[in-house]
Amino acid sequence: MSNHRLHTDGVALVSVLLIVAILMAIASRLLATHDLVITQHANTFAQNQALHYVLGAETLARQALYEDLTESGPETDHLNELWAQPTMPFELDEGGFLEAQMRDLNGCFNLNNLVGSENNLAVERFQRLASNLGIQPQIAQTWKDWIDADEEVTGFGAEDRDYLIAQPAYRTPNRLVTDLSELYLMQNIDPEQLALLLPHICLLPETDTLINVNTANSQTLAALDKGLTLVMIEPMTLEERTYESIDSFIVENEDFAPAADALSTKSAYFLLHAQAQVGDSLVTMQSLLYRNPESGVVEVLRRDFGKLFRSNLISDTEEA
């Protein structure tokens, strides 16, 4: 009888210990899940905060561009204006920073011009830009075939039949392009050469855009006519340029007269690049902005959250 009772008590004790162990395991699991949920919510909150900060930077940029046109007038845009000034990263109350920078896209070479009314001239200008940078000039013909509507090969270019034999096969878009990454899909393109080209080109939703002489760099300006050279242009681009009309610009720079039809002193397209960090969450955003030249109203044409942010301030330090 005594042995039976001891056996029963032992079984009961084992059962109690087993139940306690199960309860402890469940409690540990619940605590771990709870901590995970809290961490996920905290990360989501920080991510949303960072997103709203870059959207706030976009709103401020649109306002700055609007005030620039309505207060300074629609005829002139230059790098001394408020929108073009570099800003230091500033700290956020939540712990982190926000940094933004603006680029005038009328100061770069619009590759979509190669399907415009003056496409042959645009091809020649693209060839000069490439040659001046040490890049094979046939990239211009390859790009024209990439975006034009026909299937006829231009010079050393390439059309669908050249891309359909690739693995995997693909076709040319035969339309205006919105992202420079498509350059890497073209035939016989060297990524290292493209890296040299990217700072001087852009893609705008028009095919006859003009170059702003107040904001363009020497490489972009030198590509506009065969009579222009970097040696001739670089001293000019190192000085402040605030020309109010192309006529006044040509008076001081007569060598640009043959390219006057490609020039302007005002801009309509701008690229905002902003980055915000809150805690461990980081959000970067590029916004393509269009400013109506008459009303000054600024609209967002496209946002891209996948572009790596590179601070102009860091670049200047590295160059020094």
Q: Nearest to residue 210, comparing CAs of 104, 132, 100, 71?
A: 104
The domain limits of the chain are 1-135+190-320
Q: What is the pLDDT of residue 225?
A: 95
The CA distance from 298 to 249, in Å, is 27
Q: The tokens of 43 are what? A: 């990360």
The CA distance from 120 to 134, in Å, is 21
Q: Are strands 96-104 and 90-91 parallel, antiparallel or unpaired?
A: antiparallel
Q: The tokens of 114 are what? A: 């190669």
The CA distance from 72 to 171, in Å, is 46
Q: What is the pLDDT of residues 44-82, one digit of tens each?
A: 678 888 999 999 999 999 999 999 999 988 899 999 999
Place of tokens 């301030």: 313
Q: What is the pLDDT of residue 218?
A: 96
The CA distance from 172 to 181, in Å, is 14
pLDDT at 246 > cutoff 80: yes
Overall average pLDDT of the 210-229 stretch: 96
Q: What is the pLDDT of residue 141?
A: 93
pLDDT > 90 in the chain, percent? 66
The CA distance from 232 to 240, in Å, is 16
CB 110 within 8 A of CB 204: yes
Overall average pLDDT of the 99-103 stretch: 94
Residue 191 CB-half CA count within 13 A? 3
Q: Read off the pLDDT band of 12 (50, 70, 90).
A: low
Q: What is the pLDDT of residue 319?
A: 40
Q: What is the pLDDT of residue 86?
A: 80
189: which residues sit within 8 A by CB, 6+ positions away? 139, 142, 183
Q: Read off the pLDDT band of 318 (50, 70, 90).
A: very low
What is the model's pTM? 0.83
CB 167 within 8 A of CB 159: no
Q: What is the pLDDT of residue 64?
A: 95
pLDDT at 320 > cutoff 50: no
Mean pLDDT of the chain: 87
Overall average pLDDT of the 223-248 stretch: 94
Architecture of domain 1-135+190-320: 2-Layer Sandwich (3.30)
Q: Read off the pLDDT band of 270 (50, 70, 90).
A: very high
Give burial (CB, 10 Å; 0-12/13-18/19+) of 291: buried
CB 111 within 8 A of CB 141: no
Q: What is the pLDDT of residue 93?
A: 78
Q: Read off the pLDDT band of 316 (50, 70, 90).
A: very low
Give burial (CB, 10 Å; 0-12/13-18/19+) of 50: buried
CB 209 within 8 A of CB 106: yes
Least confident of 155-159, 206-210, 222-226, 228-232: 155-159
